[in-house]
Amino acid sequence: MRLVADQPADSGYWYGVDDDSHRRHAVALLQSFRRYRAAEVAMRSRTRASMGMGENDMAVLRHLLHAEREGRVLTPSDLTRRLGISTASMTALIDRLEASGHARRERHPTDRRSIVVVPTPATDEDVRRTLGAMHERMIAAVAEMTDDEMRVVVDCLDRLRHAVDQIDPVPKHDSR
């Protein structure tokens, strides 16, 4: 297995590569994760562009399709909380998704005073058509790994997630 990424030796980002071989390998691993994240961001951008949607529009569709698979419904308020946007922004977003045929408002199944937002049947097909081949390539990329190798990667990603979750907020400078 190749541990050193195919990047110039001086591309240590801000990790400060030194003569320690173990640290160089750790930096190479982090650089590989960084390149993957950049590729995923670019893929998401291409996907949004191909579907003619913004980032929040795609996030709402993900939430709606996930809820539908689990037999749950989501109200506009649920979606507003999940995305952390204003009620007015959510209303405009749902209006766009309705106009594009990706979602519709319906009466809540148990609360007649409320409405829910549901994906249209065409939305699931559209998302599967757009992302299905990419998801299959991703599965194929890891399918040949052993269970132990997969556990190591999952553990590493969990530790990295924990590390970035622990970053203290940047202190605000006194503007006096």
DSSP codes, 52-113: T--HHHHHHHHHHHHHHHTT--B-HHHHHHHHT--HHHHHHHHHHHHHTTSEEEEE-SS-TT
With a pLDDT cut of 70, the percent of the chain lying above it is 86
Burial 152-163 (b: 16+ CB within 10 A, else e): eeeeeeeeeeee
What average pLDDT does range 151-167 have in this prediction?
A: 91
Let me know if 94 is exposed, middle or buried by CB neighbors in 10 A (0-12, 13-18, 19+).
buried
What is the rounded end-to-end Cα distance, in angstroms, of the chain? 54
CB 30 within 8 Å of CB 13: yes
Task: Indicate yes or no: pTM above 0.85.
Answer: no
What average pLDDT does range 106-115 have in this prediction?
A: 93
Mean pLDDT lowest for which of 18-22, 91-95, 129-133? Answer: 18-22
Using the Cα atoms of residue 119, residue 75, residue 112 and residue 98 in order, give the sign of their dihedral.
negative
What average pLDDT does range 76-81 have in this prediction?
A: 96
Q: Residue 171 above 70 pLDDT?
A: yes
What average pLDDT does range 120-129 have in this prediction?
A: 86
Q: Which two tokens stand for residue 40?
A: 């995923």
| pLDDT at residue 115 in the model | 96
